[in-house]
Structures are given as C-alpha cells and as structure tokens.
DNA sequence: CGATTGCGGTCACTTCCTGACCTCAATTCG
DNA sequence: CGAATTGAGGTCAGGAAGTGACCGCAATCG
C-alpha cells in the first residue's frame, strides 16, 4: 500500500504545518473518507507520534510532542534556513554544538535538491564574510568532508603546509573534529602512506570526492583525542607535516574580576583566568587577533595588552585611529 | 500495513545515516527478505525520493538528491543542533533567512520532545549572551509567538511601553516580522479592542499561550507592510502605544570606497553609502551601538565618527583605553 | 572468468486497507 | 439546558497490497 504510506507522510506534513485540523478537513485534503483519517491517526500513534485530539465543536487533531522525534517535513524555504543555520553553527559561531551541526548538515545536504543546494551555498558564503576574524573555513568544504568521512569516500584537495608550500592530497578521511577554535581533518594520506592531520582553513581548493575509499579508524580510535595529540605534538616543535609557525596567542590583563568577565567572552575567542583580586588575564584560544582586542576594549574596563608585541602595536594603532576619528568627528560635525 | 509504512521510514532513516548500504545489510537490519527491500526501494522511488543503486561487488543503495526533499530523520543531538542553529539564525545573526528560520523553528519545536526542548532552551540562552549589542530577544518567546501566530492561539505577556510603563497584554497574534534589525509582533489587543504592534525585545515576561483565539489578518493583509507603516508612523512623532524615544543611529565616515566597505559590513549592523570618491558613510540600522564602532575600527581605514556625540565620546574613550593598554603592556612586558 | 550485487518476473498466501454504516461521548455555544 | 459539532470505535464485505520463495539476467570489480 504505497498510497497508505504516502498518505501517512502527507498527514504528518499537514500536522506539522498547522496546529489544528478537523478530521473532515484532513479527509478532504487527502481525498479519503473521514474514517480512514481516524485510522491513519491511530497508525501515527502506534508509530510513536502522539496525535492529540479534542472532541467538540472546537476540537480537532493536533501533533503533540512525544518521546521520539517524528520525521521533519520541511518546505524549500525552511530547508534553506536550516542548512544555513547549521552552517553558521558549524563554523563555530554557536558554541558547543559544532560537531552535531556538522552531522546534521551532512545528512541534510545529502538529500537537498540541487536547486536548494546552490542557494544554500550562495547564502552561506554571503554571510560567512562577516565573520570578523579567526579561522575562516569554507562551509562547503566542511559539509563535503563530513559527508566523506561518514561514507568512507576518498577525497582530493590542495593543502597549504605550514611552510607555505601548496601540496596536493589524496586521502581516506577518517574524522572531522572541532578543537574549540579550529576545524581539523584526520585522514590516511594515500600518497604518503601515513596518517595526517589537516587544518580546514588551509585547504586551498575545492574538495573533490573521488568515490569509494577504505574505511579507516584513527590510531587509538578516538578522533578527538588523536587530533588533540597531534596538535600538541606539533606545537612542541614536532616537525609534523602541515605544521608551521603560527602567531602566538594574545594576552590581555583586565582590571576586573575573572567572574565578571568570563560570562562575557565567547568561548571561541578565548579563556579568562584570575590574576589576583580585581584582575584577570584573558588569553585567545588560537593566535592573537584584532577581534579579541576589540572585544576587550568594549568591556569598558582598564586593560593592559601583555603580548605579543604585534598585538600591542595593533592596540596602539587602533586606539590612535579611534581617538583621531573622534576628534575628526567633533571637528567636522 | 502499518509495518510497511514504519519500515519505509526506517529505511529512509538508514539511508540518511550512512551513504552506502547493500541490500543484504538493509534486509538484515529491517528483518525482512532482500526481495522486500528491493520492493521498498521502489516504493521510495515512486514517492519521489531517488534511491540510487549500483550493481557489482562495490555496489549498494544510496539516497540521492532529487526533486523534492524527503522527510528529515534526525537523532536527538542533531535535532538540538538544528534547533539551536535556527534560533541564532532567527535572532538576526544570519541575515536574510530570519522569517524562514522562525517558521522552521515553530515546526520543529512543536514536535520536539520535552527533554530536548529543555536542552535547546538552555543552550541557546547560554550562547545568546554573547550577542554583543543590538536588540536582544528571548528565543523562547520568538518561537512561542511564531507558533501562536501560525495556530491562531491567544497569548498573554507583559510589555514595556516606550515610556517605561509595564503593561499586561492579551491578544490574538497575527504575525511576527523581522524589520532587518528588530523583531515585531502584530496582533489584535483584546483589552484595548484595537490592533497593536509590539517590539519583541520589550516583552518582559514569558509568553503564555491561552488557548484558541480568533484568526486575524492585519489591516491591509500584508504583515510586513503593516508593520513597516506602524514603525514609520511612530518615528514621525505618532504617539502610538509602545512608542518611545530611542537613541539615534550612529554614523561614521570612512576613508575608503563604499564598494570595498559594503561587503564587510553585516547587514544587521548598518548600511554604507558613498560620500565622494574614496569616502563613504556607514549608518547603523537601529540606534548606535559600540559594536558598530568596533566593526569600523577593525576595518583598518581612517575614520571620522560623525554622530551622535555619545558615539564620539565612546570612540574617544575606547581609543584612549586602547592606547593606554598598549603603553601599559609595553611598560609591563 | 568468477564472485558479488542489484533487477525484476511470477505465484500463492496472507494480510489489512477502505468505505459505508452505525452508536456513543465530549465539548461549545446559543 | 439542548442542539450542533466533532472525535472514537465497532462491524462487514470486497478488493488491493504486501510478502517470501523461487527463478534467470545484467553490471561491476578484481
């Protein structure tokens, strides 16, 4: 009964679109008798989707929230909104759900009709330009890689190593992991016949899917732990492939308690530690960046830019520019 | 054939989870014969969901992307990620999809199991604290109101009018609209027996749903146009209910071409207009705020803070603080 | 070439879906 | 309070479909 199944889905879709439907309305929409609607409602209930019903003149059917999540039936616009929202969340703009966002995104983009996929890509590129600083990754690449990891598909891309060499890679991807600041890809490099870790923001070409690869599990089994080890080893002078000198973190001392500052710093900017009573030191998660400086300036507390010297210079320059801008405005207006 | 329908959904779920499945695997998972799997695949195809198949030793079934979007089958984690992503997108952090995000959100939150709903609420409150400035709204309220509009449900809440009076409202909500900067609610106020427009950021209590209301259509029929008129009328001195003096927009003159600046300003911050060759003026969409200033400072071009004077003062103060911070850092380090 | 995998026809059996009829219960509104 | 509306659910008969078992065929990979 293909028709029955289709009708059940349609019924679910209708119930998700609007809250209240009378049996007669549903019957008209689905072109069956009201008795069949009642039976279909029973079927939905037996599938675990709680359909509430109220008798009487103000009654009707309504989809409640039960123990399990029914299939989501989205229209085009909604699907685009979901995809774009997931992409920004995955990009680290919404903390704490990055990996789950990527999983959901891989699921959604796999089944997204091509016409919608184009619009999602266009929209998310348009908005991602506003990410002030920090690692900027291509959401298309992220989605593609996540799907490739899940499906054990071989991928090919160009990669900028730490010493600025552009290299070509062919690998069996194993996992995509978010470090709290950056996205990393772990995979088995087929040309080099060894495990490698890549930073997504250093992938310089579109990621091409090459078809079925071999399913690999990172050494140790836990991708997050593996990548943590890799990053740490690299920082301690390990000349790992793709490693490279990266700017040091920025540190700013703030004249305020750590507890008052901490809730006001986005986790992807950095962390805060107390430094005596009434003072604290904020450190960026990754290399120093100007957004961090600006965030600190907006706190409206006195501050000391500790290091690196580049950050001190930028603070000086930005401060001067703002002061000059203020004076110019006063003079002009 | 309730079992058949359930199996079709399960099959769809499996195909969304992983890319490649052999018929035998699927048969084992679903506890039916392989022949039935083939028939089910045919059914999915006839429903418009293109299942690709490849024969041979490396073959298998795979869900392709077709003309229409199949129902999304999410697990708990993914559903949370989707909901949180939609909430931040709806809050205006991702421009251009606010209204669609809210629609999708209303759909999702309606069917979200309670245990997940709590986690979504907690997570999105935690992250929304980082929204630097601009109108801050309660994502719970937004989702509730959007659902209430869709379902013609009466709502009750407290509202802070423009002149700082806290009032209680009972209304039939009609539409929730994003102005490009703020969320507004249009509805028929039952106590005052007239149409009213509300700013979501001025709703001071949790929104309570009071049960079935009367479905209302805003005067004129187009909610967006209606609310635009209301806002404009209010700005021009109309003493509308809930109106009030709000800070003026901020304006900054930048020493750069409008075309180079424009792609670097998030639309919810403001807009850019050319001001002679090599200069442009950026204006906030809503009242001036400090994030806007910071955004301008990050552009690394010379700037003049035009008005209001408060913004000039803040620029001066921030500039001084940064310079001082730089000097302190140099001295200390 | 052989192994694996999907495709699809046929047959017989079983299942259950559907519409039509009925009565009952709950709710709203005049 | 009573009429109207709406959902719940039992039963029946006819028809439609799903299912598993069997078969041979075609495509792909190594």
pLDDT band for A128, please (50, 70, 90 cuts).
Answer: low
pLDDT band for B243, please (50, 70, 90 cuts).
Answer: very low
pLDDT band for B333, please (50, 70, 90 cuts).
Answer: low
Better pLDDT: A181 or B208: B208
Q: How far is the CA of A59 from the C1' of C29 (A)?
A: 14
- Long-range contacts for A13-18 (Cβ within 8 Å, ≥24 apart)? A13/A73, A13/B71, A15/A51, A15/A61, A15/A62, A15/A63, A16/A63, A16/A70, A16/A72, A16/A73, A16/B107, A16/B110, A16/B111, A17/B107, A18/B150, A18/B151
Res A198: pLDDT: 95
Round the average pLDDT of chain B to a whole number and report it.
Answer: 85
Q: What value does the mean pLDDT take over residues A111-131?
A: 79
Please name the residues between 86 and 125 in chain B that touch chain A, using a CB distance below 8 Å.
86, 88-89, 93-97, 100-101, 103-104, 107-108, 110-114, 116-117, 123
Res B158: pLDDT: 95
Say yes or no: B57 contacts chain A, CB-CB below 8 A: no
pLDDT band for B72, please (50, 70, 90 cuts).
Answer: very high
Write the CB contacts of B269 (distance below 8 Å, at least 6 apart in sequence).
B284, B285, B291, B292, B295
C1' nearest to CA of B52: which nucleotide?
A: C6
Q: Is the pLDDT of residue B291 over 50?
A: yes
Minimal Cα–Cα distance from A67 to chain B, Å?
6
Res B160: pLDDT: 92
Between A and B, how many residue pairs show a Cβ–Cβ distance under 8 A?
351
Least confident range of A60-64, A240-244, A302-306, A324-328: A240-244
pLDDT band for B239, please (50, 70, 90 cuts).
Answer: very low
User: Beta-carbon neighbour count of residue A220 at 10 Å?
Assistant: 9
Q: Which residue of A has its CA nearest to B317?
A: A323
Least confident range of A25-34, A168-177, A263-272, B112-121: A263-272
pLDDT tens profile B173-228:
999 998 877 899 999 998 888 999 999 989 999 899 887 788 888 999 899 999 98
Res B102: pLDDT: 93
Residue B317 CB burial class (10 angstroms; 0-12, 13-18, ≥19):
middle
Minimal Cα–Cα distance from B84 to chain A, Å?
8
Res A232: pLDDT: 78
Q: Which residue of B has its CA nearest to A52?
A: B111
Least confident range of A103-107, A186-190, B18-22, B48-52: B18-22
Domains and CATH numbers, chain B: 2-63 (1.10.10.10), 76-235 (no CATH), 251-332 (no CATH)
Q: Is the pLDDT of residue B113 over 90?
A: yes
């Amino acid at each position: 009964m293909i028709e029955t199944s289709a009708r059940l889905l349609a019924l679910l879709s209708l119930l998700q679109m609007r809250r209240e439907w009378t049996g007669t309305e549903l019957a008209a929409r689905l072109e069956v008798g009201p008795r069949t609607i009642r039976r279909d409602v029973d079927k939905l209930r037996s599938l675990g989707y709680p359909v509430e019903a109220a008798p009487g003149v103000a009654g009707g059917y309504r989809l409640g929230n039960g123990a399990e999540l029914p299939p989501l039936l989205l229209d085009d616009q909604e699907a685009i909104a979901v995809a774009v929202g997931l992409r920004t969340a995955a990009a680290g703009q919404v903390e704490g759900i990055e990996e789950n966002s990527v999983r959901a995104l891989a699921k959604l983009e796999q089944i997204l009709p091509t016409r919608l996929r184009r619009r999602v890509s266009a929209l998310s590129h348009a908005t991602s330009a506003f990410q002030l600083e920090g690692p900027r990754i291509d959401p298309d690449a992220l989605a593609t890689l996540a799907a490739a990891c899940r499906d054990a598909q071989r991928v090919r891309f160009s990669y900028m190593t730490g010493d600025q060499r552009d290299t070509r890679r062919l690998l069996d991807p194993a996992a995509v992991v978010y470090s709290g600041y950056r996205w990393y890809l772990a995979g088995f490099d087929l040309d080099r016949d060894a495990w490698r870790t890549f930073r997504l923001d250093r992938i310089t070409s579109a990621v091409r899917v090459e078809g079925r690869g071999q399913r690999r599990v990172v050494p140790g089994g836990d991708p997050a732990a593996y990548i943590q080890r890799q990053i740490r080893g690299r920082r301690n002078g390990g000349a790992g492939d793709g490693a490279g000198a990266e700017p040091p973190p920025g540190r700013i001392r703030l004249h305020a308690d750590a507890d008052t500052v901490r809730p006001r710093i986005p986790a992807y900017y950095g962390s805060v530690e107390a430094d005596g009573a009434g003072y604290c030191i904020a450190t960026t998660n990754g290399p120093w960046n100007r957004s961090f400086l600006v965030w600190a300036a907006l706190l409206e507390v006195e501050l000391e830019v500790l290091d690196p010297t580049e950050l001190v210079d930028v603070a000086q320059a930005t401060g001067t520019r703002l002061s000059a801008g203020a004076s110019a405005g006063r003079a002009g207006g």
